[in-house]
Amino acid sequence: MSGTGWFEAARPIRVEGGIRVRSKRGSIGEQWWSRRFIDILERVCDSGRLSRGRSYARSGQVLDLELAPGLVKARVQGSRRTPYKVGVKITAYDAEQWRALTGALAAQALYRAKLLAGEMPAEIEDVFRRCRLPLFPTERDLGMDCSCPDWGFPCKHLSAVLYVLAEAFDDDPFLVLAWRGMAKDVLLGALRETGGSGGEEPARPGLFDVTDAPFAERLADFYAPGVSPARLRDRTALPVTPPDLLLRTLDPPPVTARRTPILDLLRPAYQALAEHDDA
């Protein structure tokens, strides 16, 4: 046994039909939400085991992956004949917590529209944060278990599953929400029912809501503005721009400080500057 907590190294048994990540080299995860998930993992997990996990994920050693509220289960083929069983747990939010989250998302017309269009707005993290419910798992929130004899955190089998999960998030961002306990169809149905008003205030008239009339009846005032200048200047209905929007828009640079991505160090500074401007 070596001093790293693992027994004698052995080659894994090759399998056919396993789940292979598309990435052949470099980082795994293309969309901002999957990169965010990977960034968190690489901050809290052993880099050596994560590297071996990437190799497992690329060679198809993960046999299957099943996601349910609060739990991801998988089987990984290692060097032994029997595949190892892997479980990754996070907190799944209850119905009351999701009512608050759904109401907060529906109250922002832009976020609601993007979700209904199948997109994951970057600002969704702020909505979860304001509800004091993290979107992505934290070190305290993440529970991992593998049936292998390696007591490292995480073992390479767990690491492989985490990378396969990240690429699954690439393909379907709503899996991030399903892991927290909200299925895609249920969330979208709730957003459609709210109509963006959250059931608390009557819906404001839209900026371009004007009465239609036949052209022949509008000859005298056809070129007059259909909306008053006061309404054009009214910006109260626009969503609040998050202070770190620029950081989210740009591709993250490959720069870290003590293994922490530079964007994670800059984000609190942007937040503090915005709070100072509002004071």
More confident residue, 214 or 168: 168
pLDDT confidence of 77, banded at 50, 70, 90?
Answer: very high
Taking only the tens place, the pLDDT of each residue in 82-111 is 999 999 999 999 999 999 999 999 988 888
Q: What is the pTM of this model?
A: 0.66
Taking only the tens place, the pLDDT of each residue in 231-245 is 555 555 555 566 766
Closest by CA to 75, choosing from 12, 29, 28, is: 12
Alpha helix (H) residue ranges in 146-279: 156-171, 174-179, 184-194, 229-233, 245-249, 262-278
Instruction: Work out the average pLDDT over 38-57.
Output: 85
CA distances from 102 to 127, 193, 210 (A): 10, 11, 30
Gyration radius of the chain's alpha carbons: 24
More confident residue, 8 or 103: 103
- Paired tokens of 30: 């293309």
Taking only the tens place, the pLDDT of each residue in 168-187 is 999 999 999 999 999 999 99
